Amino acid sequence: MLSTLQPPRSLSLLPLRRFQISKTIVSAASSKTIDTSVISPPQSQILTTRRSLLSGETTAVEIAKSYLSRIRLTEPQLKCFLHVSENVLKDAQEIDQRIAKGEELGPLAGVLIGVKDNICTQGMPSTAASRILEHYRPPFDATAVKKIKELGGIVVGKTNMDEFGMGSTTEASAFQVTANPWDLSRVPGGSSGGSAAAVAARQCMVSLGSDTGGSVRQPASFCGVVGLKPTYGRVSRFGLMAYASSLDVIGCFGSTVADAGMLLHAISGYDRFDSTSSKQDVPEFQSQFLSVDHFESKPLNGVKVGIIRETLEDGVDSGVRSATQEAASHLEALGCILTEVSLPSFSLGLPAYYVIASSESSSNLSRYDGVRYGNQVMAEELNKLYECSRGEGFGGEVKMRILMGTYALSAGYYDAYYKRAQQVRTLIRKDFKAALEQNDILISPAAPSAAYKIGEKKDDPLAMYAGDIMTVNVNLAGLPAMVLPCGLVEGGPSGLPVGLQMIGAAFDEEKLLKVGHIFEQTLKGSSFVPPLLANVA
Amino acid sequence: MSTTLLRTIQLNQFSLLGTSLLRRRRSNNFSVRSCGSQTTTTHEAKQSSPTRVAPKNHKSNQLDEILRDYEAVIGIETHVQLSTLTKAFCSCSNNYGSYPNTSICPVCMGLPGALPVLNSKVVEFGVRLGLALNCDLSLKSKFDRKQYFYPDLPKGYQISQFDIPIASGGYVDVDIPLEFGGGHRRFGITRVHMEEDAGKLLHSDTGDYSQVDLNRAGVPLLEIVSEPDMRSGIEAAEYACEMQRIARYLGVSNGNMQEGSLRCDVNISIRPIGQAEFGTKVEIKNLNAFSAISRAIDFEISRQALLYNQGKADQIVTETRLWEEGAQKTVTMRKKEGLADYRYFPEPDLPEVILTQEYVDSIRASLPELPEAKRRRYEAMGLGMQDVLFLANDVSVAEYFDAVIGKGAEVKLAANWIMSDIAAYLKNEKLSINDIKLTPQELAELIAAIKDGTISGKIGKEILFELLAKGGTVKGMIKAKDLVQITDPAEIEKMVIQVVSENPKQLEQYRSGKTKLQGYFAGQVMKMSKGKANPGLLNKILLEKLNAKD
């Protein structure tokens, strides 16, 4: 069987001790990765679940119970979920009944999935972490959610996020602040912070996020999980509450590359309800996930990897830089041909991104007017109704971006801002195209730093925006990218994870998954399990 | 006192304007000619009759003199609601008159996460209309968002086309009815673009609350913007009429103004004749009939001309005015303070609209004969302009007429039958020509039967109504009712002799000079023949007998 299957292990109520990291962090000063060579490579939760269900070793209900109890234990500290489904056990029972009857099982049968709160789930609260949609329950499932359910996946609940995806820390949620499982005083990143932290804390096996400017990749980096942002158009956006329509994609989190890849496979494909979804074939990614003992000596022989020069310049933490360089060395050791590439337009991406994203969001968020659904403030007069409903419904960050976007689209400013940003976008796309003609993949850090403290950048939006520099260009170019943990830096009780970003050519997620999987399975000390889990146990 | 007087005078002037203009410019025929729907026609004509007979006022001459110095510049924005089965961006059915909020879905309600998907019929209809209006088509166009807040606009923006409309730079030809001076005009078409309609607000009687009906939200529209080429109310109304005709000929819309399927907003300014730059532009809305367009414009021209004339040109401001049908005047709806900023930007949820030349060519090849081509063809067939305009006005009538002449009927005769007896019948019965049982084939037969003398014209008329209502064949009916005309002089002579001999008193009166009694004798003979006697022969023989000196 082509898989990363290891000797099966049962998911006991608290299997957490197995993940305990040996306290062998080399001196803090060197920020070296932990020597955990004794730990076996991470294994796919999806495949493990399937295996243990099919073998009758455990039941879907048992697995679900163990995850629910872990949620109960960890959630008071983490606050990853805005809503936990009441139907998890019922859904799991259905899976068990199917197994009992010998019926065909979907590839995600019994897999527990967290869904970012801006992705519509029928009958389940979906608020995009905004007051303006408090208690809103959509009448339909997002296409991605619908596909997951059809394949047997169980939606565990709705994960916390920055309101409407606007933020990089999950602090901009209207309802709660999520903590980073590696250090509860730190942010999990954002905007899909809840989805990343939930996977890191094993509150669910995999999760869906959305990535407009790095909202899947940066929290993946902060939380030490795999975050996969597919090519724009690969996954239907139907049911994803729009932030910036031309940049938004639904992405996947997993504790392994294989999990993220299999979840992506499940949700990919053309959707007639999204005119921007692509008709490109979705390859069977699973064949890429060979187990370690099937690897050749140089499994990535000849793969051309370009390391983006501009991402390792000033403004990037030294720990992050060295982790990235070590990751590059590791790729070389696997047979990759490493070269340095330059993207001249790189630094233009951030301002262009903020103009485009704010402009589109100012328009996309117009529908939240309090007239048909969501928060409505009673008023004597129409404009007052708009003013109060929106004024009370939106948080500060959202209001700021609506104002910026409205300004950028105003008559007389359109050419100077929106149009110019689109021209920059074309440049960025060109530069990436050229770099990807010379290389199979490009690599960079996922963020300039590891997770920072809660509140640290709250009053300094520009500093927070600057943290998106590694990721926004990829959205502007519409390319696929994956972030996977590549090392730890000093910080927190047992170090903080650092993510490596791999960027591929449009619709070539397959290559990212292949390289990412081999990288992950061969990385020494590759078990990125946060210390919180040990403490809870 | 003086102020009061002044006010009174002004008021009078305004109230007089409407009537004096109407008398001057409107005529009975206008609305009949212009409105496609028969029922509407009747309604219109009745509604307008009181103002038509308004007494001539001495002030109108004065006004005419003032008006002579100014020229109006008029452009029209027409919204045509498309008769697609489903809405523009979702699969909700596009039904007029459904119970509120029964034809809605997450997409047209603007629910979070819902995305628009373009209905290809909208593009097809856009191309059809663009071609019919002689426009250049954009093989690559796109959608944009027009942003404003209003409760009937679920998404907070309308999906429309901004800088690259699907069609632009065309023209339309119209014929002005003879009673308005006649003549042929060509008006430029600036652009045609695709967009979606908004919902409707239903206001409570008390004014305490309003309700939103989103059935219409997302219904596809084509907006046609004309060049400012029109100069009078009549020209504008004729232009609007032609838009309706074209939409109906193409089958892209029912063009019904009452239902709002065809909506016209007029932009109008006036300037002293000889002045090159345009005057201040005023927009007029709430024009629910072609006659309203004409009258509102004429009212507005007079209003503005008077203000100019009184040195109050500064009181003409950029604004939107509403036409009040009851008061027959325009009133301020809202003044525009600067240009509204709709913050247009390209709709990121929809890909560009790419048309291939083959697609455009195939649609061009499938276009029906359009009103202008029909009119020119009818004209070339020798029909008078009155007939031409009548027949080409309604596509169903035109098709019927074409079918009748296609069956060999003589053109002028066919036109007369359709325009007089059949039109009257349709009007009385409130039917469309598609509802009648008389096939074009049988009308051609009927015309032929009269022409070759098989039946008399009088009999023809009689059986026409039966054919209209019940159908059947002309031949069958002639046979069944024994209606063949008597053309045998001997037989007619026999009846004449009998009638003359049975009426000696009248004969004596006739011969003593009361010659109009000829009609009496003719009637008697006709009666005897059960209406079948050939009238020409009958009269000829009757005269011979009456005047015979025996």
> In CATH, what number is assigned to the domain containing residue A343?
3.90.1300.10
Q: Is A269 a domain residue?
A: yes
Burial of B173 (0-12, 13-18, 19+ CB in 10 A): middle
Q: Of B481, B514, B535, which one is at a domain's C-terminal end?
A: B481
Q: Of B434, B453, B481, which one is at a domain's C-terminal end?
A: B481
Q: Do B348 and A245 touch (CB under 8 A)?
A: yes
DSSP annotation of A186: B
Q: What is the pLDDT of residues B338-380, one digit of tens each?
A: 667 999 999 999 999 999 999 999 999 999 999 999 999 999 9
Using a CB–CB cut-off of 8 Å, the residues of A that contact B are 118-120, 126, 128, 133, 136, 138-140, 142, 237-242, 244-246, 272-276, 359-360, 362-363, 365-369, 371-373, 382, 386, 406, 409-411, 414, 418
Chain B residues inside the 8 Å CB shell of A365: 156
Q: Do A366 and B155 touch (CB under 8 A)?
A: yes
A449: pLDDT strictly greater than 60: yes
CA distance B165 to chain A (A): 19
Range with lowest mean pLDDT among A14-28, A257-271, B157-171, B280-294: A14-28
Q: Looking at the 3D structure of chain B, how many domains does it have? A: 3
Distance CA A59, CA A92 (A): 8
Average of per-residue pLDDT values in chain A: 90
B41: pLDDT strictly greater than 70: no
Higher pLDDT, A459 or B43: A459
Cβ B173 vs Cβ B185: under 8 Å? yes
Chain B residues inside the 8 Å CB shell of A371: 151, 154, 212
Q: Do A359 and B345 touch (CB under 8 A)?
A: yes
B350 closest CB neighbour out of A133, A275, A366 = A275
Q: Is B320 a domain residue?
A: no
pLDDT of B59 reads 61
CA distance B229 to chain A (A): 28
Q: Which amino acid is at A387?
A: E
**Cα end-to-end distance, chain B, whole Å:** 89
Chain B residues inside the 8 Å CB shell of A244: 348
Chain B residues inside the 8 Å CB shell of A409: 147, 343-345
B533: pLDDT strictly greater than 90: no
Same domain, B453 and B497: no
Closest CA to A82 of A139, A41, A127: A127
Give bridge partners of residue B321 from the DSSP assignment: B284, B332
CA pseudo-torsion sign A257, A260, A266, A272? negative
Q: Is A206 a domain residue?
A: yes
Q: Do B112 and A128 touch (CB under 8 A)?
A: yes
Chain A residues inside the 8 Å CB shell of B154: 367, 371-372
Q: Is B390 a domain residue?
A: yes
Percent residues over pLDDT 90 in chain B: 65
B101 has a chain A CB within 8 A of its CB: no
Distance CA A418, CA A424 (A): 10
CA distance A479 to chain B (A): 17
Q: Of B461, B481, B501, which one is at a domain's C-terminal end?
A: B481
Distance CA A317, CA A280 (A): 38
Same domain, B494 and B389: no
Q: Is B30 a domain residue?
A: no
- Minimal Cα distance from A237: which residue of B? B113
pLDDT of A458 reads 82
Q: What is the pLDDT of residues A29-80, one digit of tens each?
A: 333 333 434 457 889 999 999 999 999 999 999 999 999 999 999 999 999 9
pLDDT of B481 reads 78
Same domain, B193 and B160: yes
Mind telling me the catalytic residues of A?
116, 191, 215
For the residues A510-515, what does the mean pLDDT come to?
A: 97
- Minimal Cα distance from A367: which residue of B? B155
DSSP annotation of A140: S
Q: Is A4 a domain residue?
A: no
A190: pLDDT strictly greater than 70: yes
B203 has a chain A CB within 8 A of its CB: no
DSSP states along B254-278: ---TTTTSEEEEEEEEEEETT--S-
Same domain, B496 and B538: yes
For the residues B80-90, what does the mean pLDDT come to?
A: 97
pLDDT of B336 reads 67
Chain B residues inside the 8 Å CB shell of A118: 113
Q: Looking at the 3D structure of chain A, how many domains does it have? A: 1
Same domain, B379 and B430: yes
Burial of A284 (0-12, 13-18, 19+ CB in 10 A): exposed
Q: Is A276 a domain residue?
A: yes
Average of per-residue pLDDT values in chain B: 87
Same domain, B136 and B256: yes
For the residues B403-419, what does the mean pLDDT come to?
A: 95
Range with lowest mean pLDDT among A76-80, A161-165, B99-103, B448-452: B448-452
Same domain, B108 and B161: yes
pLDDT of B26 reads 34
Whole domain around residue B262: which residue ranges? Answer: 77-271+340-354
Closest CA to B331 of B315, B320, B340: B320
Q: Is B120 a domain residue?
A: yes
CA distance B154 to chain A (A): 6
B154 has a chain A CB within 8 A of its CB: yes
pLDDT of B40 reads 35
Q: Is A392 a domain residue?
A: no
Closest CA to A248 of A282, A274, A287, A284: A274
Tokens of B457: 């014209």
- One-letter-per-residue 3-state SS of B494-519: HHHHHHHHHCHHHHHHHHCCCHHHHH
Distance CA B40, CA B529 (A): 42
Q: Which amino acid is at B163?
A: D
CA distance B439 to chain A (A): 46
Same domain, B96 and B165: yes
For the residues A94-119, what does the mean pLDDT come to?
A: 96
Same domain, B179 and B207: yes
Q: Cα separations (Å) of B520 from A63, B517, B524, B547?
A: 109, 5, 6, 15
- CA max distance for chain B: 103
Q: Do B345 and A239 touch (CB under 8 A)?
A: no
CA distance B387 to chain A (A): 50
pLDDT of B549 reads 65
Range with lowest mean pLDDT among A36-45, A155-164, B18-27: B18-27
Higher pLDDT, A107 or A461: A107
- Minimal Cα distance from B214: which residue of A? A372
Chain A residues inside the 8 Å CB shell of B212: 371-372
Higher pLDDT, A415 or A20: A415
pLDDT band at B38 (very low <50, low <70, confident <90, very high): very low
Distance CA A328, CA A341 (A): 13
B529: pLDDT strictly greater than 90: no
Q: Is A175 a domain residue?
A: yes
Angle between helices A88-101 and A60-78 (to 10 degrees): 160
Same domain, B267 and B350: yes
**Distance of alpha carbon B115 from its chain centroid, rounded?**
38
pLDDT band at B483 (very low <50, low <70, confident <90, very high): confident
Chain A residues inside the 8 Å CB shell of B149: 366, 369, 386
Burial of B343 (0-12, 13-18, 19+ CB in 10 A): buried
Closest CA to A482 of A499, A462, A468, A463: A499
Higher pLDDT, A39 or B246: B246
pLDDT of B45 reads 35
Q: Cα separations (Å) of A510 from A400, A529, B298?
A: 38, 26, 70
B76: pLDDT strictly greater than 80: yes
pLDDT of B550 reads 58
pLDDT band at B290 (very low <50, low <70, confident <90, very high): very high
Range with lowest mean pLDDT among A170-174, A449-453, B311-315: B311-315
Q: What is the pLDDT of residues A331-380, one digit of tens each?
A: 999 999 999 999 999 999 999 999 999 999 999 999 999 999 988 898 88
Same domain, B542 and B463: no
Which strands, in side-by-side order, build the sheet including A112-116?
Answer: A81-84, A154-159, A112-116, A206-211, A249-254, A226-229, A481-489, A496-504, A441-445, A304-308, A337-341
Please give the interface size between A and B, counted as residue pairs whose CB atoms are below 8 Å apart.
Answer: 101
Range with lowest mean pLDDT among B47-61, B293-307, B400-414: B47-61
pLDDT of B138 reads 97
A409 closest CB neighbour out of B109, B339, B343 = B343
pLDDT of A139 reads 97
Q: Is B11 a domain residue?
A: no
pLDDT of A8 reads 32
Same domain, B427 and B496: no
B165: pLDDT strictly greater than 90: yes
For the residues B460-477, what does the mean pLDDT come to?
A: 89
Range with lowest mean pLDDT among A158-162, A482-486, B9-13, B87-91: B9-13
Map residue A146 onto helix, strand or coil: helix
Q: Is A178 a domain residue?
A: yes
Distance CA B156, CA A386 (A): 11
B35: pLDDT strictly greater than 70: no
Distance CA B362, CA B446 (A): 39
Q: Do A237 and B115 touch (CB under 8 A)?
A: yes
ipTM field: 0.91
A363 closest CB neighbour out of B117, B157, B339 = B157
A2: pLDDT strictly greater than 50: no
B212 closest CB neighbour out of A367, A371, A410 = A371
**Cα end-to-end distance, chain A, whole Å:** 33
- Minimal Cα distance from A140: which residue of B? B106
pLDDT of B8 reads 29
B208 has a chain A CB within 8 A of its CB: no
Map residue A461 onto helix, strand or coil: helix
List all residues of chain B from 123 to 152 with a beta carbon under 8 Å from chain A.
145, 147, 149, 151
A14: pLDDT strictly greater than 70: no
Tokens of A95: 């899976």
Whole domain around residue A486: which residue ranges? Answer: 45-349+419-535
B11: pLDDT strictly greater than 80: no
pLDDT of A299 reads 94
